[in-house]
Amino acid sequence: MADTPEGVDLERLQPWFIEHVDGAGEGPLTAELIAGGRSNLTYAISDGSREWVLRRPPLGHVVATAHDMGREYRVLAGLADTDVPVPEVFAFCDDAEVNGAPFYVMERVDGRILRTPEDMLSITPDDARRCSNELVDVLARLHLVDYEAVGLGDFGRPDGFLARNVARWGTQWQANKTRELASVNELARRLDAALPESGPPSIVHGDYRLDNTMLANDDASHVVAVLDWEMSTLGDPLTDLALFLVYWGGGSGPAIASSQTLSSVPGFLTRDEVIASYAEQSGRSVEHLDFYIVFAMYKLAVILEGINARFLMGKTLGEGFGAMGEMVVELVDAALAVADQSPDPRLHR
């Protein structure tokens, strides 16, 4: 087991797989850390003939209410028979004795993820445009799912969602922070003062972006799976649109993911085209989108500070974590700049 990545105990997982995962054989398990995830950890698990994906929380500094494997498993199971593409889930384990933390097992979907600038440029401008339209379409379809009908009526508390989440991410900041930043407190104050009235609630993904989707190998305009549901809930769907736009680029803010420059890649929709397409397909008003953009940057800054904290503790697996601390500062400053320029005076200094 010398080559087994940290975070999986294959000896204990072996009998659990045989008992709980249909099709798991007697062959010894092997594991490989799948690159890309910077929060929950994702592994490819194989018994020599079949392959699955195992998801578990990070190795250290897990904040209460975050990284809930049971919720992630449940939303995937609920969406299985909808027109939102998700991987099939097989089993969930809440016994930390098996693998050190709760986890679940799902299918390993065959497809590709566009992460790097080279990946973006590997598709034609025509495919890039069709890919853009598909991404917006999938997001709108998610927000149109009847969550009561798929058994997720108690998956969240939509009433007071925005106020509760502004407060929640403030609490997360206090738990995650590695230093004092007065600008974070100022940003939280402005958000609390400018809360808009939410429209009809929906299932919210919580981190929807290009590199959290998997495209068909032979068709960039077809999303075969939406991944990374760890922050999903019921709430205001415009929070999803705003975070998607922050990742998409074309506005202010640092490059916080590989998909940040999409709006400038030939063929991909512009920021304004994304907004117009979503508004048309979802039927929702985007009048107060400035608030949601500022909130998205705030939320993302808190998330990155949590990753920075784990990095400083030596609890991250993989590369690319050294710049997280400075990125937090850049995101908060960019959010304050958007707030200053908003037509809503409640977002001003």
In order along its 349 residues, the chain shows pLDDT tens digits of: 447 899 999 999 999 999 999 999 888 999 999 864 457 899 999 999 999 999 998 886 454 455 689 999 999 999 999 999 999 999 999 999 999 999 999 999 999 999 888 888 889 999 999 999 999 999 999 999 999 999 999 999 999 999 999 999 999 999 989 999 999 999 999 999 999 999 999 999 999 999 999 999 999 999 999 999 988 999 999 999 999 999 998 765 565 655 556 878 899 999 999 999 999 999 999 999 999 999 999 999 998 998 899 888 887 777 778 788 899 999 999 999 999 999 999 999 8
* CA–CA–CA angle 161, 69, 248 (5° rounding): 60
> Backbone phi, then psi, for 60, in 5-degree steps?
-150, 170
Six-digit token string for 214: 């998997």
CA distance 61 to 314: 10
**Do 77 and 89 meet the contact criterion of CB atoms below 8 Å apart?**
yes
CA distance 111 to 49: 19
Report the CATH number of the 10-107 domain.
3.30.200.20
Six-digit token string for 71: 């919720």
Compute how many other C-beta atoms are within 10 angstroms of the C-beta atom of residue 185: 12
As beta bridge partners, residue 234 has 203
**Do 121 and 71 meet the contact criterion of CB atoms below 8 Å apart?**
no
pLDDT for position 48: 93
Residue at 31: amino acid letter: A
Q: Specify the DSSP element, H or E, that contains 193.
A: helix 182-193
CA distance 157 to 96: 28
> Backbone phi, then psi, for 253, in 5-degree steps?
120, 155
CA distance 17 to 92: 11
pLDDT for position 258: 52
Going from N- to C-terminal start, the domains of the chain cover: 10-107, 117-347
As beta bridge partners, residue 112 has 215
CA distance 44 to 7: 12
Compute how many other C-beta atoms are within 10 angstroms of the C-beta atom of residue 32: 15
pLDDT for position 121: 83
Instruction: Name the fold adopted by 117-347.
Output: Aminoglycoside 3'-phosphotransferase; Chain: A, domain 2 (3.90.1200)
pLDDT for position 64: 45
Name the DSSP letter for residue 7.
Answer: T
Three state DSSP letters for 143-176: HHCCCCCCCCCCCCCCCCHHHHHHHHHHHHHHHH
**Do 80 and 48 meet the contact criterion of CB atoms below 8 Å apart?**
no
Please give the span between the terminal C-alpha atoms of the chain, in angstroms, as a whole number.
Answer: 56
Do 117-347 and 10-107 fall under one CATH topology? no
